[in-house]
A and B are shown apart, each in its own frame.
Chain A
Amino acid sequence: MIRYLLSRMAHALLLVIGVSLLAFLFTTLAPGNYFDEMRLNPQIAPETLSALRAHYQLDRPLPIRYVSWVNSVLHGQMGFSFAYNSPVAPLLLVRAKNTLLLTITATLLAWAIALPLGVWSAERLGRFPDHVISWSTAILLVIPDLALALGLLVLTVRTGWFPTGGMASVDFESLSSLNKIRDLAMHMTLPVAALVLSALPLLVRHVRASVADVLHAPFLLAAEGHGIPRRTLLYRYALPAAANPLLSLFGFSIGALLSGSLLIEVVMSWPGLGPFLLEAILARDIYVVIGGVLFSTIFLATGNLLADMLLYWVDPRIRAESASR
């Protein structure tokens, strides 16, 4: 097991290196650079722009830039942002924290709702409650997240129940600790709701499909014959057997912790990684983009690693296979 873990971590490192190389390549392929927008400013002469480009070493060949970037990563700075004129790492860390706050809450909530709902629906497969869940998840599935987020926003403007975006009120600093938590919770409600609503249908359908598959298994029938109570049957016997695709999905949830909420963050003005990276991509602030990609890759690799480990642990069939190898 330890050997497996170590080898996977080595793979993750290789992945990160590979991603950084390719990301570097891609950002150079796309035409334009950060200083292009200043071309349109009638006040700035082209010579100033070329001087700026040389100053930031944008004219050097790719391998040299890559090496100096790796150097800066090892020093904890992760490159330099043209727009903010400061190292990338502190800029990313602050915003990554905000994003994680949102996505971890939403992921936990979504899974906590999806599992019981999916199991309940699979139990009553083909009957009325299952149809209700099926149809409502279907409708939720076809509504784009953008529409969901915008709809929630419009609702909030009309009713005034929640703030229209942002993470904190203007007078946040002067609130008491309890009120600060309350303020944060109010601001988080809409984005979390949007994230949960957009993730829920997929999860519920997959849970339902895999649990429904398993419910016909003879071992479950035998267990029921033994008198094991229904709740235990469903959650401790059926669910682990059905867990295979769900664990992969869970791995995706972890992997998407940093990147999955980009749209919602932009629409709801949540100060996370999403809007920051989007602006950097459009402005060609390449080191910020590469830094963001790197962060996301680390989460992705972690998520997949977690999924593989869980799969190995939960599904005895896979364990048996690698034991016999």
Chain B
Amino acid sequence: MRNCPATVARCRILFRSFLIFSAVICQLAFAKAQQNNANEELLVLPGEVGRSGGRLAVSLRGEPKTLNPIIAADARSREVIGVMQADLVHINRATQLTEPALAKSWKISPDGLTYTLVLRKGLKFSDGQPMDADDVLFSFRVYLDENTHAPQRDLLIVGGKPISVRKIDAQTVVFQMAEPYGAGERLFDGMAILPRHLLEKPFQEGKLGQIGSLSAAANQWAGLGPFRLKEYVAGQRLVLERNPYYWKSDSKGNRLPHLDELVFLFVPNADAQVLKFQSGETDMISQLGAENFSVLSRQQNGYTVTDAGPGLEYNFLFFNLNDVGEKAPADLQRKQKWFHEVKFRQAVAAATDREAIVRLVYQGRGAAIWGLVTPGNKRWGDANLSHPPRSLERARTLLKEVGFSWSTGPNGESILQDSDGKPVEFSILTSSTNADRAKMAALLQDDLKQLGMRVQVVPLEFRSLLDRVTQTKEYDTCIMGIASYDADPNSDINVWLSSGGTHLWNPSQPHPATPWEAEIDHLIEEQMSARTFDQRKKLYDRAQEILAEHQPMIFLASPDILAGAKNSVGNFHPAVLEPYVLWNVEQLYLKSGRENATR
């Protein structure tokens, strides 16, 4: 084309108008984007601002089985689901208090029966679909559905009736309870909000349980958590990628999470986890045992291991106080006569060497406990609970008071016998796969030998043990441990209530077998509906004191929470509540430009 001045001028005008046009478009688009951002209400997290990018690898002890919160029964699945889903109100694992999550605020009515939650605006699932009150309604409908048998259902029954949910508008939801519930807002922690657009049809067809398998395509599942599914290789690993629609940001306004990818490697056991961490193949490790902690802390090259202090796990010995009836074998009936004697139990408690347990089993990284509430629980410990030191003298006095006496055996050892002259012998059941509790049993065996009792330690495979303790009730005593998942007493309610399934010494009673169990029931039920923290604490303290007096469970020790991370991982703050190191996964980041975790 010839450079004709007219054409050139026209070109210039065209070009300029094009520039102006595109500038206007850009402004509009930008404004729209701003508007989008303005429409979104992000939760701003305080704390260190991190670098964006990178891949973090952690190991899982075993494989997750499903991504579906409704059928997830095992701990590994729950760990993975935890980083892919979000809840309305969340318990901050560091402070152990509730804080807003998907709901930006809530109001509790004066009578404590109605909770009104207001959702954030502009929330989107990980596949880009918007989320609103309808999803909340759907989720709770699924959880409460009687034919689905979701494990969450039992948690949503307050005062004997399931809670009811209704929506006021697209951002506001109202929950109605039959009775006031002291720990009300904590109920919502862990209740994942499910995507109605993906799950409503399967739910109506009754096929909800089949959705959410790990090998399904990534676009068939969505959640509100910081990560979404990218890749799954059976038996080996699960790779998650950043959720671009996540609703949290750091204090500088950068959308979280910082990490590009989160990889879960499946390893069969704790020792394999330690190996992978030591060789640098994983970046973080949690639920470390005390011995592995020592091994790792000896040469901390490139990583640091941390002792986060006492956790919420409590280990205890309990007696078979079930009413076994006339048909039970004669020696079990005889042993139960001893077990039912409260001074016998107190004597066993007095002979227990808790300090040795903490030192030999946990290498000092733990705490002796005399009650269900461990030192890791910041608010609910009873300061007035007595912590009597070990005293064989006191044990012997107690035993003498109820008619026990000592004789000498053929090899010169002393044998305790009851008032009928029968030697005191019983067995302690323990799970064969838990090395710590097996050690505790061995220590107790030796302690009680000094009182003249002959104790056999019987390790049983875990399910056989559960069968004996909860079904056939054919056992003498047993050592078990329970890790509370929340600091609030309601998380252990089935241990306290005599009708509870984990009231291990005599589970699922139709009505309380003893007056003190009845009193505990009464106290626990009252504190469930009490409104203020002080009221609840007073009642709970009294319950703890009654338990300490009657000793159906002899509390032994609680391990510290031990974890470790590479020095290149930022914002690593292990907490004592589950999930110990991934609770702030959206804030974790990799420092100093290292993209991968390599040796």
Contact = CB atoms under 8 A, between A and B. Distances in A.
Closest 7 CB pairs of A and B: A271-B235, A32-B463, A31-B467, A42-B494, A32-B467, A164-B275, A45-B154
Contacts of B149: 48, 51-52, 55
Contacts of A166: 236, 265, 267, 276, 281
B386 interface: no
A48 B66 contact: no
A172 to B, nearest CB: 8
Contacts of B433: 282
A145 to B, nearest CB: 16
On chain B, which size bracket covers the interface? 35 or more
Given A43-B154, A44-B151, A279-B268, 13 more contacts: A36-B470, A39-B470, A41-B502, A42-B494, A42-B495, A44-B501, A94-B234, A98-B235, A153-B275, A160-B599, A163-B279, A164-B276, A279-B62
Interface string B436-472: 0000000000000000000000000111101110111
A282 B463 contact: yes
10 contacts: A39-B470, A43-B152, A46-B501, A86-B215, A95-B235, A168-B237, A170-B57, A266-B268, A276-B235, A282-B462
Q: Which of B63, B493, B495 has the most CB of A within 10 A?
A: B63
Contacts of B152: 43
Interface in B192-238: 209-210, 213, 215, 231, 233-237
A33 B466 CA distance: 10
Contacts of B209: 85
Nearest to B492: A42
A164 B281 contact: yes
A189 to B, nearest CB: 15
B466 A160 contact: no
Given A44-B154, A52-B149, A271-B236, A165 B272 contact: yes
B267 A83 contact: no
B279 A31 contact: no
B210 A85 contact: yes
A83 B74 contact: yes
Interface of A: 30-33, 36-46, 48, 51-52, 55, 83-86, 90-91, 94-95, 98, 153, 156-157, 160, 163-168, 170-173, 266-267, 269, 271-272, 275-276, 279, 282-284
A31 B473 CA distance: 13
Contact of B500 (A32, A36, A42): A42
B596 interface: yes
Contacts of A156: 279
Contacts of A275: 235, 268
A55 B495 CA distance: 27
B491 interface: yes
B73 interface: yes
B66 to A, nearest CB: 6
B120 interface: no
Interface in B468-505: 468, 470-472, 482, 485, 491-495, 500-502
A18 B461 CA distance: 27
Nearest to A46: B501
A45 B599 contact: no
Contacts of B596: 170-171
Contact of B466 (A36, A84, A95): A36
A171 B596 CA distance: 9
A173 B266 CA distance: 17
A167 B467 CA distance: 36
B263 interface: yes
B71 interface: yes
Q: Which of A30, A84, A90, A157 has the most CB of B within 10 A?
A: A84
Contacts of A44: 151, 154, 501
A107 B458 CA distance: 39
B183 interface: no
B155 interface: yes
B466 A173 contact: no
A170 B275 contact: no
B62 A40 contact: no
Contacts of A42: 482, 491-495, 500-502
A19 B55 CA distance: 47
B65 A84 contact: yes
A41 B151 contact: yes
Nearest to A43: B155
Given A31-B464, A94-B234, A160-B279, A269 B272 contact: yes
A182 B65 CA distance: 30
Interface string B524-541: 000000000000000000
Contacts of B63: 279
Contact of A36 (B62, B237, B267, B467): B467
B588 to A, nearest CB: 17
A170 B466 CA distance: 38
B278 interface: yes
Contacts of A282: 433, 461-463
Q: Which of A45, A168, A173 has the most CB of B within 10 A?
A: A45
A86 B597 CA distance: 33
Contacts of A36: 463, 466-467, 470
A271 B66 contact: no
Contacts of B501: 39, 42, 44-46
A266 to B, nearest CB: 5
A272 B235 contact: yes
A110 to B, nearest CB: 24
A305 B495 CA distance: 56
Contacts of A168: 233, 236-237
A167 B152 CA distance: 36
A44 B152 CA distance: 8
A282 B55 CA distance: 33
Contacts of A267: 268, 272
A46 B234 CA distance: 32
A157 B492 contact: no
